[in-house]
Structure 1
Amino acid sequence: MRYRSQLLLLGVLFFHLSIGFSQKTYLLKPARVFDGIAIHEGWWVLVQEEKIVRVGPSTDFKNLSNTSLETIDLKGCTLLPGLIEGHSHLFLHPYNETPWDDQVLREARSLRTARATLHAKLTLKAGFTTVRDLGTEGAEFDDVGLKQAINQGIVPGPRMLIATKALIATGSYAPKGFSPDIEVPQGAEEADGHDKLIQAVRRQIGKGADVVKIYADYRWGLMGEARPTFLVDEIKLIVETARSSGRPTIAHAGSTEGMRRAIMGGCETLEHGDAGTPEIFKLMQEKGVALCPTLAAGDAVSQYRGWKKGVEPEPERIKNKRLTFKQALDAGVIICFGGDVGVFAHGDNAREMEMMVEYGMKPLEVLKSATSTNARVFHLAQLGQIQPSFLADLVAVEGHPDQQISDIRRVKMVMKNGIIFKE
């Protein structure tokens, strides 16, 4: 028993040393600060406990007398708000490792949860201090426990906004190809009609959902194409039920009609938007509905299917995605940063940021999308900007990501809630 206690103590000590955490007062001295809106050369930041208490030119920080102050010199670095991943699935791993059907049907939930804790750590180390995790994809309500474990300091990871199981129309989303006599596990929760939809929304909220996610369409058309699932009145009912608890509703929507129904039903963000049109994007702009384009997911799936990127011509799917993304930008649609991480590797979240630039956004606008824009759209009042009284979620990267977006990968320091996580 004594030996086991010693091992446990050593394990706890190793955990704390491995993430290198401490919480006190820090003076951060980067070369420049991106405050969520603009770049400021020669600015410094003072952090006390979990809050930012002062931001401004280095000349404003003279005669600091706090004896517990620790100065961190970040020469050549840009200090940014902690990045906010808008579309993640911590309970999935890349489909070229294991297809989605096999993850849902063959992998034990205990295995998926163990893997998800690693995904959370990789995400945080890459500079993403918050994730909107949009469905466990068959892992039931296990994201609730993962969120609790992170909040309690049991495992390192980003703060999580979770959608738990997500909502699907009956028959639209489960793994396919089985005998109709067999009931197989679902990738989300089936619900239809007035009473059952209200019950499902309330059940997910009661279990811990921060956001209600619906699949406004899916590939269940007669020829396997994406077609709408829920009716507009059903979506309105879901949105009204969720909104009564203060929660937003968001929609997986790739088809033109699925997008239209989600917009008219009151969803706050649309995920993917592959078949958007100028008319649909105009409607999104008028209604203030944001688009999370998930460019990197489509890029990854195309490569899994054999496309040799940079060698072969782009598939029609990729060409169309370039076009629709430009149409959304031209229409002035709010663009949320989110890559559908899990389709590709966790920790490689910056892949989406690089593709947003490749597809037409300016690097500075991409940085805004991943910080202040996501914070505003996701109702995160004290995140996404570097200013006094905001939570001390900060990331320092070497270089100028506002000029060369790939510099966002050169992570030097990650701070979440005033705690420094480092190797």
Structure 2
Amino acid sequence: MKIRVFLSLFMFSAVLQAQTLVLKADAMLDVNSGQLIANTLVLIKGNRIHQIGSQGEFSVPADAKVIELSGQTLLPGLMDMHVHLNSDARLHGYKRLAQSLPRKTLTGVTNARKTIENGFTTVRNVGAPGYADIALRDAIAEGELTGPRIFAAGMSLGITGGHCDNNLLPYEYKDKAAAVADGPWQVREKVRMNVKYGADWIKFCATGGVLSKGTKVGAQQFSQQEMDALVDEANLRGIGVAAHAHGLNGIKTAIRAGVTSVEHASFLDDEAINMALEKGTYLSMDIYTTEYILGEGEKAGILEESLAKERLVGGKQRQSFRNAVNAGVKMVFGSDAGVYPHGHNARQFSRMVKYGMTPIQAIQAATINSATMLRQQDKLGSLEQGKLADIIAVPGNPLKDIALLEKVSWVFKEGVLIKSP
């Protein structure tokens, strides 16, 4: 029975790819204005949106396949700017030592499908071993696998013994992460290595982290000189930089260096917020992960040391989020999926609203803001003529109930049907 259902959806998708599509829905959300457009028609030709209007404003082509989405609101495909598709949320700490690189690569295949089926058609993957995320990106782009569009960072840069190093094994194993770099020229070499193997972005660890052994979550990693060299090298290659940074000094040093985004940004003060405003730095703050880490983390193998750090960080990060939102800092949606199960990304929306955003601000963070940060705003992030037809539908008005984004019923990526009820 499951095979027949899968084949039926596959054949339906194939038909939709071959035809002009018209989506007929109760409403569409214009993420730029924050307004709902009632009784919407969206005409799709090929992989792009050809025309949008209210029903009756334009005629439906005779050869078009019309899909009735009664009771549904259309939105742009959602975008998550901080995921780890090759990570299994059930395996943390020492449990992850048992996973081989091929196994992690296959884990990414499963997680990619879960991610797109829950409405996220674009992600930024900020760190994976052995360039597994780049292989996954390319397989999806070539149509071999189903998943979101991936902007991949390859291997995360870190210092010896820092958050992006491997610190679980004793000295005699000589275990060291492949992208560890100490000193400005080593940092440049690792950036060049990532670019050589296909990275779209560079991600580095500017401070200690919650889930690493032996790092202080607020302690700065990399000097100003090292961060300056890292960002300069990435800029020479025309690619953006994401800085993992919980601690205040690391956040400020990363902003001074000119990073595109600060991930987590847990310990903000007024100066750091003003620096982000002045520099135009984006913040990507994963304010949902606390529930999973403290609720399920021990069972998943998260170390007691890490649980203690999360108890320290979680509340402060949410207050920092509220302060940054109130100040008008540019924000993107970043969930850190992989710490918790993939496919649950949208659960963060309700936390974003609870801690200071309006529903439209939270949706904009996951659509037009993320597209702009990626420099893809001409193709992605909103439903407009000429943009790629990444479209989702939810059963109702998400401006009134943000939790509806956890109930995505239809997903199209570049005009191809990925999910239907």
TM-score, normalised with respect to structure 2: 0.89
Identical pairs, percent: 29
Q: How far apart, in 2, do the equivalents of 1:208 and 1:264 lie?
A: 27
Structure 2 residue aligned with 1:421: 418
The question of whether the paired residues in 2 share the 8 Å contact of 1:86 and 1:339 is answered with yes
Deviations 1:313-366 (A, max 9, x none): x95543322211111112211111110000111111101112111212111111
Q: CA 1:278 to 1:15, structure 2 compared with 1: closer, same or farther past 3 Å?
A: farther
Q: What value does the CA root-mean-square deviation take over the aligned residues?
A: 2.3
Q: Classify the secondary structure of the residue corresponding to 1:257.
A: helix
Structure 2 residue aligned with 1:71: 66
The 5 Å alignment of 1:180-195 reads 180-186=171-177, 189-195=179-185
The 5 Å alignment of 1:239-254 reads 239-254=231-246
The question of whether the paired residues in 1 share the 8 Å contact of 2:25 and 2:73 is answered with yes
- The amino acid of 1:31's aligned partner reads D
- The amino acid of 1:256's aligned partner reads L
Q: How far apart, in 2, do the equivalents of 1:222 and 1:348 lie?
A: 29
Q: How far apart, in 1, do the equivalents of 2:289 and 2:179 lie?
A: 23
Q: How far apart, in 2, do the equivalents of 1:106 and 1:53 lie?
A: 49
Q: Classify the secondary structure of the residue corresponding to 1:286.
A: helix
- The amino acid of 1:408's aligned partner reads L
Post-superposition offset of 1:305? 5.1
Post-superposition offset of 1:195? 2.4
Structure 1 residue aligned with 2:124: 132
Q: How many residues are paired up?
A: 399
The question of whether the paired residues in 2 share the 8 Å contact of 1:364 and 1:403 is answered with no
TM-score, normalised with respect to structure 1: 0.89
Structure 2 residue aligned with 1:28: 23
Counterpart selection for 1:196 from 183, 186, 203: 186
Counterpart selection for 1:394 from 391, 394, 401: 391
- The amino acid of 2:160's aligned partner reads T
Q: CA 1:207 to 1:342, structure 2 compared with 1: closer, same or farther past 3 Å?
A: same
Gaps of 5+ in 1: 1-9, 308-313
Q: How far apart, in 2, do the equivalents of 1:291 and 1:318 lie?
A: 16
Q: How far apart, in 2, do the equivalents of 1:157 and 1:19 lie?
A: 18
Q: Does 1:80 align with 2:75?
A: yes
Q: Classify the secondary structure of the residue corresponding to 1:196.
A: helix
Q: Does 1:330 align with 2:322?
A: no
The question of whether the paired residues in 1 share the 8 Å contact of 2:167 and 2:214 is answered with no
Post-superposition offset of 1:19? 8.5
Counterpart selection for 1:171 from 161, 164, 167: 161
Post-superposition offset of 1:47? 0.6
Structure 2 residue aligned with 1:52: 49
Post-superposition offset of 1:177? 4.7
The question of whether the paired residues in 2 share the 8 Å contact of 1:253 and 1:271 is answered with yes
Post-superposition offset of 1:108? 1.4
Structure 2 residue aligned with 1:41: 38
- The amino acid of 2:149's aligned partner reads R
Give the ranges of 4+ consecutive aligned residues of structure 1 lying more than 4 Å apart after TM superposition.
13-16, 219-223
Q: Does 1:360 align with 2:356?
A: yes
Structure 1 residue aligned with 2:92: 99
- The amino acid of 2:348's aligned partner reads E
Post-superposition offset of 1:410? 2.0
Q: How far apart, in 2, do the equivalents of 1:180 and 1:18 lie?
A: 55
- The amino acid of 2:266's aligned partner reads D
Deviations 1:120-158 (A, max 9, x none): 00101001100101001xx21111111111111111000
Gaps of 5+ in 2: 300-309
Post-superposition offset of 1:306? 7.1
Deviations 1:371-420 (A, max 9, x none): 01110112113100111110011001111111100111222211101111
The question of whether the paired residues in 1 share the 8 Å contact of 2:218 and 2:248 is answered with no
Counterpart selection for 2:196 from 192, 195, 206: 206
Structure 2 residue aligned with 1:3: none
Q: CA 1:181 to 1:77, structure 2 compared with 1: closer, same or farther past 3 Å?
A: same
Q: CA 1:382 to 1:201, structure 2 compared with 1: closer, same or farther past 3 Å?
A: same
